[in-house]
Amino acid sequence: MKDFATLFTRIDESTKTTVKTAALADYFRTAEPSDKLWTIALFTGRRPKRTITATRLREWAAEVAGLPDWLFEESYSIVGDLAETIALVLPPAEEDDDQSLTYWINRIKALSGMDEDDRKAGILQAWNSLPTTQRFLFTKLLTGGFRIGVSAKLITRALAHATGQPEAELTHKLMGNWTPDTATWESLIEADDPTADLSRPYPFYLAYQLDSLDDLGAPSDWNAERKWDGIRGQLIIRGGEHHLWSRGEDLMTDRFPELAQLKDYLPDGTVIDGEILAFADEKPLSFNALQKRIGRKTVPRKLLKEAPVILMAYDVLEYEGQDIRDTALHERRNHLKALINHAPPEAPIRLSEAVDFTSWDDLAKAREQSREIGAEGLMLKRLDSPYLSGRKRGDWWKWKIDPLTIDAVMIYAQAGHGRRANLFTDYTFAVRAGNDLVPFTKAYSGLTDAEFREITAWVRKNTLQKFGPVRQVPPTHVFEIAFEGIQASPRHKSGVALRFPRMARWRKDKPVDEANTLDDLKEMLATYG
């Protein structure tokens, strides 16, 4: 645990990719194999489930620290992170239990099967055995909330430095439905056959946002497609079975059972990249329809009927059992067309059709039609481009339409997390409804650090009421809120929910009585919902 805490500190204290890569590579060269495997798992989101509620941890930490509940809660609201608060307020450890990361994770897993008294005794004993940083990490793992600013790309780069293996090969090894309970360091990283698991997907190729057409050259060098608002997915058909993976390495096979029939129409040794869309009458439904199915492991018959899905196929990565990612896009699309043409019309798969254009002006006009047909914009892909791994600049671009915007009033503020734990960065916004303000969305990104500091100082001086970590503030400041979509929502007082809301700018020039109204929101809903 000491080595893991040292690694965490080195990564947390730097914003430089080279420093983080070096820290990880050093760790992967020297740590115990089981600890290395758990570190990869934790850094790629495969963390243990929550063992204990935050309420119990707060009670027990306040008790051990000898603090009244109100003082612990006030400390928590200032620090902004429960595990960090606990690590700081507890008295110094009286023991020195220098055990491995794997040991402590196994202890945490064992706690979940104990009664509350034994669980409490185990947690208090751990707190009394660990210094501050290790105690913080232990508590994070207890809550299931461990996260760190390390990308999968950085992990594979560090592993490449430590093991001498190619990054692309390591990226492929880390994909799939493995956990430290089902794999070992030897089988996952050091074994020679990275394709032993027939369900394993390929790393996704990601596009950059396009800001200008000026540097793209001739339009004839490019393929354009609609950018649909669904869930990016990779369909794998191998060994007579099918598997469906999200871009975030989430196995979604059971959530979309209607796609199972594709293994009857597509040959073994096929891997297709595409977008999962709610789809009816040969057109996409809103993301709101698809969202009802997200997170469900079983889908009731009624929902299958209300929101049927298809795979809008963009690309084929494996054809006739061969990895064809190095071939040109126009060749891969020819293979993809052949595969889809072989399937009957009722099969839940469609080809992402190319958008016809001969000039960039033609393409700009096509982009302007996106919102009318339920698309987010366009994808531009160079016709001779291979299918790469991760986000690469040059061959693939996303040209999204401009977001919708509305001017709203901030009415609540809450502290952020991590490096923003001492700043109020999470805000609740409202629109006007007569003499009232109706809350309709939250947002926490889009402003500069300087603006966040300025708002934080204002919030501290102008708090009207406190509700735990949330501060009510006077309705004084107007912000322009940008968002990608809007849909009806009976769960919200406003009756609407926004997709990807963020703060576009702080409207210091606009008084509250010029902010938008609830009627404006409802008009947007009627137009774009």
pLDDT, residue 468, reads 78
pLDDT, residue 161, reads 94
CB 148 within 8 A of CB 2: no
Q: What is the dihedral of CA 447, 451, 416, 521, to 10 degrees?
A: -50
Grade residue 237 by pLDDT with cuts at 50, 70 and 90.
Answer: very high
Residue 165 backbone zone (phi > 0: left; psi -120 to 50: alpha; other: beta): beta
* E strand intervals along 79-230: 205-206, 208-209, 222-228
Contacts 24+ apart (CB under 8 A), 432-439: 432/512, 432/513, 432/515, 432/516, 432/517, 432/518, 433/517, 433/518, 433/519, 437/409, 437/411, 437/475, 438/493, 438/494, 438/518, 439/411, 439/412, 439/493, 439/494
CB 521 within 8 A of CB 440: yes
pLDDT, residue 153, reads 78
**Does position 467 have pLDDT exceeding 80, yes or no?**
yes
pLDDT, residue 510, reads 94
| Cα–Cα distance, 324 to 421 (Å, whole number) | 46
Q: What is each CA distance from 271 to 66, 201, 382, in whole angstroms?
A: 58, 8, 21
Q: What is each CA distance from 7 to 30, 135, 154, 307, in whole angstroms?
A: 12, 15, 14, 46
Q: Which residues contact 263 (CB under 8 A, 6 or more apart)?
A: 237, 240, 241, 242
Pairing mode, strands 396-400 and 208-209: parallel
Q: pLDDT, tens digit, for every residue of 171-223? A: 778 877 788 988 999 988 988 755 556 888 898 999 999 988 888 999 999 99
**What residues does 499 pair with on adjacent strands?**
485
Fold of 205-400: D-amino Acid Aminotransferase; Chain A, domain 1 (3.30.470)
Grade residue 168 by pLDDT with cuts at 50, 70 and 90.
Answer: low
Name the percent of the chain lying above pLDDT 70.
Answer: 97
| Cα–Cα distance, 154 to 133 (Å, whole number) | 23
Average pLDDT over residues 257-264: 94
Return the ∠ at Cα 97 (arms to 94 and 102), rounded to 5°.
145
User: Considering the domain 404-528 in this protein, what is its CATH number?
Assistant: 2.40.50.140
Q: pLDDT, tens digit, for every residue of 328-339? A: 999 999 999 999
Number of other CB atoms surrounding residue 247 within 10 Å: 14
pTM for this entry:
0.64
Question: What does pLDDT average to over the chain?
Answer: 90
455 vs 70: which has the higher pLDDT = 455
Instruction: List the chain domain ranges.
Output: 2-143, 205-400, 404-528
| Cα–Cα distance, 515 to 297 (Å, whole number) | 41
Q: What is each CA distance from 496 to 407, 437, 487, in whole angstroms?
A: 15, 15, 6
**Does position 516 have pLDDT exceeding 90, yes or no?**
yes
- Any alpha helices (H) in 327-472, and if so which ranges? 329-342, 360-368, 449-462
Pairing mode, strands 231-238 and 470-472: unpaired
Grade residue 415 by pLDDT with cuts at 50, 70 and 90.
Answer: confident
pLDDT, residue 59, reads 92
| Architecture of domain 2-143 in this structure | Orthogonal Bundle (1.10)
Contacts 24+ apart (CB under 8 A), 237-245: 237/262, 237/263, 237/266, 237/267, 237/268, 237/269, 237/270, 237/271, 238/198, 238/199, 238/268, 238/269, 238/271, 239/198, 239/268, 240/268, 241/198, 241/199, 243/198, 243/199, 243/201, 244/276, 245/175, 245/201
